[in-house]
RNA sequence: GCCCGGAUGGCGGAAUUGGUAGACGCGCUGGACUCAAAAUCCAGUAAUGGCAACAUUGUGAGAGUUCGAGUCUCUCUCUGGGCACCA
């Protein structure tokens, strides 16, 4: 037998498979369908590196596995070929984008073919193909007709380097996701899709998807649902009202000023007659506009704003007259673009109010329910309410604090006590300190605020619901009165350091203690104060009550923004709309689709906010399909995400000229059963595609309302140096080189063996040797010939391997599946004797991973069939059962012996054998076993 | 700051979900073959002590629950990712 020659074998079988068209897929109602999809690549100029095919290999393994298990599998591939990079590549290399895309697709395809992925290439699609984008445009027109598309003149995100507007999703930390250039706000007319109409469904339907939880969580955060209230504030001496959205209507009594976004329309209206400092306002508005997103949101940036002089608002809760500001910390496009500011309970408002000396009014106080062992409230006791004080007293010289250690029980506190009638809280605090410790000369440093606590008062054996006011004093000297004998009996005075306090004092008092050192504001829920009739109730409950009282209404808000859909670039689908002076904006008639992207002299971006298409007069000038008069075409193009939002459907029916997708075919194949791709698409492509698909569902074009039933993300392959593979670092590994040297099978196997599928692992050419050696050893084993019977030891491992691989492929645990095949080969080499029949089983389970060598050896065994079309082997349970098992014997939790026993051993027998072990006896050391635990099939644990 | 993950030998990683930690692979060490090297094969490989049997320690750190914890609970450190003035 010749040496394992991967080049010869792999080329031979690739040719044969292609000639026989083995990957062709047709509808077959007799079989269960399985649609498995890769995120299609962007055919860039640089070609594939070793990381790209990882996901493709995985889906290829599953696809082959499913085919061998009698599924009718749809496994297609295509190209996401519109968009900026192609255009930029074309500009740089002075070729037309169409030509560049064609070349790049050819190059990509050539690379992919070497890996022998079982795609049905007859279903290949490209988003730049007019027969494809006809339907992208068609779907857009349906949205337009349903009123889901509107034109906006609001400032949008503009990338000055890419010279195009961008959607919210295209930003990364306030910069362009592609080029890293800080985003500016620019006012240009934009087509926007009301994706927010779908926010609730996009959120709710996540629950029914078999996606990884962290991806769902990412989408939930991106959609950003928050519940709150809309409340209106009257403006004094004006007919106008300010409407705000707030998640904290309970804090309304604490709203001491209001803020409008600088771009808020009310500002312009108020300028007309009320605002006295118009000039100052306008300077600030200009500043806001020219700032980049990054400048506006820079971390640690001090808040800025300008007061609207001459205008005030009325707080609807208490009638208070409060000032109005404009400030750029309020965003125009979230909520109503205006807020009620509650500096006592919102960090941002607090910063602002401190800077501009605005009243800070506390309306919610912390409610602490003690959860520590000794102090958590007892279920069986009622709460006794009490107004009380806490006094924290610092030593006159040292860094220690006064505490009381109770003598009867294990309990230490600061000085606490009730407030008597006619006493102020501070008076009560001073009195308690004097009574309990005798210290007299207190200097008040800080009032720490209110705090409510539910706890079990251990010394007094009652449940307390205490309403504390807390004070921080410093002692001026050690002057001290005599303490009464009763007090002395109760507790002793202990001076504690910070560290000691943190260890001994109960939770709620610790919160007070921390307030000494930190300027913290309370932003949580708690007990209402300073809020008239709502005082004393739970702030969570007060939300609805206060909203109702002031005539507001509870509502829901989303962070998700509408989808800015216009790009001022050449290489995209033309937006099929026509501007007519008489008729307004009119849709291009559907029978004129596709609206072809015209050729153009210069497709460079203009940078003015106008698309390069605007320069082609003969294309732009058209007639209005409604009135027949002169009209102009829309010249913006669609974003790259348009085509990828529905491409999964087109594979099902790639050549249909009459309809987006044939309903019967769609019903047969849809939805995608398994979708594999990069996690970076979690908040863009996967949001857009879900939206687009849901829209198609709503208009009856498809029959299932989610596109991707199950989603799995791929972990990226890092370069050998641990960095990302990039031309810039010069650390890119090309799959062509690896396949040439080691073979496609080795390459495929290694990528699946590297680690867990969704983990990012560094490439290692050194480790690649492992899978290669495995294949060489298999080849060699084959050369040795076969026996009439298989060694029972091999048989056992073989059937376990079949079981494990069957399960592992389903669970996407390829690394352990391959490890198991290695274990099998190790056993084969050790025990040698194996029948042809059993070897066939091995080849069948190997074939999804390494199709070429499996097919070659399959043929060498005399088969003239394609292994892909064979049946997946089943395992025989009789080989899974062990007659003998190894029991672990522990003494006090430590392994002292292992004993080999019959699998059916009884508990008593096992215990007897375990106790008989010499080493076990040594560790029992004559003591009497307290307890012997027996776990069937696992262990005997002896406790002495 | 907020929301998700992750941390196991020299390296990539296993661990039936609470039951012998380190499967499998790489690397490394020793041996066989060879004039020699590569390749291949055999043996070893968590650390420490011991000729060995074995003992002690050991899954980022610290506490806890348990006969028993990589796995469960709490606190913390480091780290990857996402979001970030979202009211």
Average pLDDT over residues A177-190: 85
Residue A12 binned pLDDT confidence (cut-offs 50, 70, 90):
very high
Query: Which of A348, A277, A353, A282 lies closest to A309 in space, CA to CA?
Result: A277
pLDDT value of residue A74: 97
Task: Determine the nucleotide nearest to A339 by Cα–C1' distance.
Answer: B87
Got the DSSP string for A810-827?
HTT-HHHHHHHHHHHHHH
Residue A169 binned pLDDT confidence (cut-offs 50, 70, 90):
confident
Q: How far is the CA of A767 from the C1' of B31 (A)?
A: 24
Strand spans (E) along A241-295 = 241-246, 257-260
Residue A454 binned pLDDT confidence (cut-offs 50, 70, 90):
confident
pLDDT value of residue A29: 84
Task: Determine the nucleotide nearest to A762 by Cα–C1' distance.
Answer: B12
pLDDT value of residue A372: 63
Check: CB of residue A850 under 8 Å from CB of residue A811.
no
Task: Determine the nucleotide nearest to A933 by Cα–C1' distance.
Answer: B67
pLDDT value of residue A273: 84
Tokens linked to A913: 């054998």
Average pLDDT over residues A757-761: 93
Rg from Cα positions in chain A: 37
Residue A231 CA neighbour count, 13 Å, CB half = 29
Does A541 score more than 60 pLDDT? Answer: yes
d(CA A486, CA A518): 36
Residue A447 binned pLDDT confidence (cut-offs 50, 70, 90):
confident
Does A627 score more than 70 pLDDT? Answer: yes
Average pLDDT over residues A247-252: 96
Residue A662, classified by CB atoms within 10 Å of its CB into exposed (0-12), middle (13-18) or buried (19+), is middle
Check: CB of residue A87 under 8 Å from CB of residue A571.
yes
Q: How far is the CA of A170 from the C1' of B82 (A)?
A: 14
pLDDT value of residue A821: 97
C1' of nucleotide B69: residue with nearest CA? A893
C1' of nucleotide B11: residue with nearest CA? A767
C1' of nucleotide B26: residue with nearest CA? A767
Average pLDDT over residues A144-162: 90
C1' of nucleotide B74: residue with nearest CA? A372
Does A721 score more than 70 pLDDT? Answer: yes
Average pLDDT over residues A819-833: 94
> Is residue A934 classed as helix, strand or coil in its secondary structure?
strand
Q: How far is the CA of A904 from the C1' of B67 (A)?
A: 23
Does A693 score more than 90 pLDDT? Answer: yes
Task: Answer left, alpha or beta for residue A791, where phi above 0 means left and psi between -120 and 50 means alpha.
Answer: beta
Check: CB of residue A725 under 8 Å from CB of residue A683.
no
Strand partners, A420: none
Cα angle value A847/A111/A718 (rounded, 5°): 85
- At A32-41, the pLDDT tens digits run 999 999 999 9
Q: How far is the CA of A896 from the C1' of B49 (A)?
A: 19
- At A574-607, the pLDDT tens digits run 999 999 999 999 999 999 989 999 988 778 887 7
Cα angle value A647/A651/A654 (rounded, 5°): 105
| Average pLDDT, rounded, for chain A | 91
Does A344 score more than 60 pLDDT? Answer: yes
pLDDT value of residue A515: 77
Estimate to the nearest angstrom the gap between the alpha carbon of A329 and the chain centroid: 26
Q: Token pair 């025989």 is at which residue? A: A876
Q: How far is the CA of A767 from the C1' of B10 (A)?
A: 14
Average pLDDT over residues A211-215: 92
Lowest mean pLDDT among A4-8, A29-33, A201-205, A409-413: A409-413
Tokens linked to A611: 């698309």
Lowest mean pLDDT among A90-104, A313-327, A391-405, A512-526: A512-526
pLDDT value of residue A290: 82
d(CA A162, CA A274): 42
Residue A496 binned pLDDT confidence (cut-offs 50, 70, 90):
confident
d(CA A119, CA A22): 10
Q: How far is the CA of A769 from the C1' of B38 (A)?
A: 15
- Higher pLDDT pick, A378 / A622: A622
Residue A862, classified by CB atoms within 10 Å of its CB into exposed (0-12), middle (13-18) or buried (19+), is exposed
Check: CB of residue A115 under 8 Å from CB of residue A744.
yes
pLDDT value of residue A656: 96
Tokens linked to A319: 């009638």
Query: Which of A100, A128, A163, A158 lies closest to A604 in space, CA to CA?
Result: A163
Cα angle value A544/A549/A553 (rounded, 5°): 55
- At A767-786, the pLDDT tens digits run 999 999 999 999 999 888 89
Lowest mean pLDDT among A64-68, A152-156, A683-687, A896-900: A152-156
Q: How far is the CA of A882 from the C1' of B3 (A)?
A: 47
Q: How far apart are the first and last CA of chain A?
A: 63
Q: How far is the CA of A938 from the C1' of B15 (A)?
A: 15
Task: Determine the nucleotide nearest to A259 by Cα–C1' distance.
Answer: B87
Q: How far is the CA of A723 from the C1' of B15 (A)?
A: 29
Bases in strand B with any atom closer than 7 Å to a protein CB:
3-5, 11-15, 19-21, 23-27, 40-42, 54-56, 67-69, 80-87
Strand partners, A527: A365, A538
d(CA A458, CA A323): 49
Q: Give percent above pLDDT 70 in chain A.
A: 98
Average pLDDT over residues A811-832: 95
Check: CB of residue A302 under 8 Å from CB of residue A206.
no
Q: Which helix (H) or strand (E) holds A20?
A: helix A6-20
Task: Determine the nucleotide nearest to A337 by Cα–C1' distance.
Answer: B87
d(CA A276, CA A282): 12
> Is residue A43 classed as helix, strand or coil in its secondary structure?
coil
Task: Determine the nucleotide nearest to A228 by Cα–C1' distance.
Answer: B87
d(CA A205, CA A197): 14
Residue A759 binned pLDDT confidence (cut-offs 50, 70, 90):
very high
Residue A709 makes CB contacts below 8 A (sequence gap 6+) with: A209, A210, A671, A672, A673, A674, A675
Q: How many residues does chain A have?
A: 944
- Higher pLDDT pick, A880 / A124: A124
Indicate if ipTM > 0.90. Answer: yes
Q: What is the pTM of this model?
A: 0.91
Does A546 score more than 90 pLDDT? Answer: yes
Tokens linked to A88: 């930029």
Q: How far is the CA of A943 from the C1' of B57 (A)?
A: 22
Does A796 score more than 60 pLDDT? Answer: yes
Residue A729, classified by CB atoms within 10 Å of its CB into exposed (0-12), middle (13-18) or buried (19+), is exposed
Exposure b/e, A740-771, CB count within 10 A at least 16 = b:
eebbbbbbbbbbbbbeebeebbebeeeebeeb
Residue A343 makes CB contacts below 8 A (sequence gap 6+) with: A254, A256, A257, A349, A350, A352, A353, A354, A358, A359, A360, A361, A521
C1' of nucleotide B4: residue with nearest CA? A214
- Higher pLDDT pick, A172 / A311: A311
Task: Determine the nucleotide nearest to A750 by Cα–C1' distance.
Answer: B25
Check: CB of residue A569 under 8 Å from CB of residue A545.
no
> How many beta carbons lie within 10 A of that of residue A447, not counting itself?
14
Task: Determine the nucleotide nearest to A248 by Cα–C1' distance.
Answer: B87
pLDDT value of residue A522: 85
Q: How far is the CA of A74 from the C1' of B11 (A)?
A: 39
Check: CB of residue A286 under 8 Å from CB of residue A222.
no
The pairing of beta strand A338-341 with beta strand A257-260: antiparallel
Does A299 score more than 60 pLDDT? Answer: no
d(CA A339, CA A230): 10
Lowest mean pLDDT among A37-41, A376-380, A384-388, A403-407: A376-380
Task: Determine the nucleotide nearest to A887 by Cα–C1' distance.
Answer: B20
Lowest mean pLDDT among A398-412, A696-710, A807-821: A398-412
Q: How far is the CA of A225 from the C1' of B2 (A)?
A: 15
């Amino acid at each position: 037998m010749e040496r394992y020659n991967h080049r010869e074998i792999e080329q031979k079988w690739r040719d044969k498979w292609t000639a026989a068209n083995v990957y062709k897929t047709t509808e077959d109602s007799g079989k269960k369908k399985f649609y498995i999809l890769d995120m299609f690549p962007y055919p860039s100029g640089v070609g594939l590196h070793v990381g790209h095919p990882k996901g493709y290999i995985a889906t290829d393994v599953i696809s082959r596995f499913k085919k061998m298990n009698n599924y009718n599998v749809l496994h297609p591939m295509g190209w996401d070929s519109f968009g900026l990079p192609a255009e930029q590549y074309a500009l740089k290399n002075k070729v037309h984008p169409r030509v560049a895309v064609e070349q790049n697709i050819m190059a990509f395809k050539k690379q992919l073919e070497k890996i022998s992925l079982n795609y049905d290439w007859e279903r290949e699609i490209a988003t730049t193909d007019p027969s494809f984008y006809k339907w992208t445009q068609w779907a857009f027109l349906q949205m337009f007709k349903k009123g889901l598309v509107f034109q906006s003149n609001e400032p949008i995100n503009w990338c000055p380097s890419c010279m195009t507007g961008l959607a919210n999703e295209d930003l990364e930390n306030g910069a362009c996701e592609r080029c890293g250039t800080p985003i500016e706000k620019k006012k240009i007319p934009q087509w926007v899709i009301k994706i927010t109409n779908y926010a609730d469904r996009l959120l709710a339907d996540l629950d029914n998807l078999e996606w990884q939880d962290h991806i769902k969580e990412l989408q939930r955060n991106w959609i950003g649902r928050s519940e709150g209230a809309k409340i209106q504030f009257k403006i004094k001496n004006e007919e106008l009202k300010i409407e705000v959205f707030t998640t904290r209507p309970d804090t309304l009594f604490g709203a001491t000023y209001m803020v409008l976004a600088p771009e808020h329309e009310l500002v312009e209206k108020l300028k007309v007659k009320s605002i006295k400092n118009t000039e100052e306002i306008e300077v600030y508005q200009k500043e806001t506009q020219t700032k980049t997103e990054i400048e506006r949101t820079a971390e640690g940036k001090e808040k800025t704003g300008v007061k609207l002089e001459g205008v005030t608002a009325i707080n609807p809760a208490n009638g208070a007259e409060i000032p109005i500001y404009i400030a750029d910390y309020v965003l125009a496009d979230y909520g109503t673009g205006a807020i009620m500011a509650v500096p006592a309970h919102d960090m941002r408002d607090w910063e602002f109010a401190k800077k501009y000396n605005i009243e800070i009014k506390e309306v919610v106080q912390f409610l602490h329910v003690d959860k520590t062992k000794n102090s958590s409230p007892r279920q069986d006791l009622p709460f006794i309410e009490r107004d009380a004080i806490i006094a924290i007293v610092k030593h006159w010289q040292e860094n220690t604090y006064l505490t009381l250690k109770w003598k009867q029980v294990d309990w230490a506190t600061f000085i606490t006590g009730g407030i008597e009638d006619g006493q102020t809280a501070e008076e009560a605090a001073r009195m308690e300190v004097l009574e309990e410790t005798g210290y007299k000369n207190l200097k008040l440093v800080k009032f720490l605020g209110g705090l409510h606590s539910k706890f079990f008062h251990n010394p007094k054996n009652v449940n307390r619901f205490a309403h504390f006011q807390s004070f921080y004093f410093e002692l001026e000297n050690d002057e001290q009165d005599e303490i009464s004998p009763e007090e002395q009996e109760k507790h002793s005075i202990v001076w504690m350091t910070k560290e000691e306090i943190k260890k001994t004092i109960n939770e709620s008092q610790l919160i007070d203690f921390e307030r000494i050192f930190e300027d913290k504001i309370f932003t949580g829920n708690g007990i209402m104060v300073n809020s008239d009739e709502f005082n004393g109730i739970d702030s969570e409950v007060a939300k609805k009550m206060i909203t109702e009282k002031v005539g507001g209404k509870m509502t829901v808000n989303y962070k998700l923004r509408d989808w800015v859909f216009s790009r001022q670039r050449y290489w995209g689908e033309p937006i099929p709309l026509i501007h007519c002076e008489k008729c307004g904006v009119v849709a291009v008639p559907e029978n004129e689709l596709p609206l072809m992207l015209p050729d153009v002299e210069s497709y460079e971006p203009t940078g003015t906010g106008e698309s390069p298409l605007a320069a082609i007069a003969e294309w732009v000038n058209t007639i209005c399909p409604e009135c027949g008069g002169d009209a102009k075409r829309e010249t913006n193009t669609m974003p790259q995400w348009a085509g990828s939002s529905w491409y999964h459907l087109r594979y099902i029916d790639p050549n249909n000229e009459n309809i987006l997708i044939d309903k019967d075919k769609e019903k047969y194949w849809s939805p995608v059963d398994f979708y594999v791709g990069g996690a970076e698409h979690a908040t863009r492509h996967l949001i857009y595609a879900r939206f687009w698909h849901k829209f198609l569902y709503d208009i009856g074009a498809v029959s299932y309302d989610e596109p991707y039933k199950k989603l799995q993300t791929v972990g990226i392959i890092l370069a050998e140096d641990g960095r990302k593979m990039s031309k810039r670092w010069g650390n890119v590994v090309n799959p062509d080189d690896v396949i040439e040297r080691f073979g496609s099978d080795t390459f495929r196997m290694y990528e699946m063996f590297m680690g867990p599928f969704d983990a990012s692992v560094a490439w290692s050419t050194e480790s690649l040797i492992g899978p290669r050696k495995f294949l060489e050893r298999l080849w060699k084993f084959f050369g040795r010939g076969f026996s009439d019977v298989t060694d029972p030891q091999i048989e056992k491992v073989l059937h376990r391997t079949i079981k494990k691989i069957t399960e592992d492929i389903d669970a996407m645990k390829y690394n352990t599946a391959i490890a198991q095949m290695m274990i099998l080969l190790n056993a084969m080499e050790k025990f040698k004797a194996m029948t042809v029949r059993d070897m066939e089983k091995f080849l069948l389970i190997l074939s999804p991973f390494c199709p070429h060598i499996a097919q070659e050896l399959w043929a060498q065994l005399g088969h003239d069939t394609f292994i892909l079309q064979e049946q997946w082997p089943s395992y025989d349970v009789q080989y899974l059962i062990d007659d003998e098992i190894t029991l672990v014997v522990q003494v006090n939790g430590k392994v002292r012996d292992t004993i080999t026993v019959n699998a059916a051993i009884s508990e008593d027998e096992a215990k007897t054998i375990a106790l008989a072990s010499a080493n076990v006896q040594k560790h029992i050391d004559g003591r009497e076993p307290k307890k012997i635990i027996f776990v069937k099939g696992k262990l005997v644990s002896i406790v002495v």
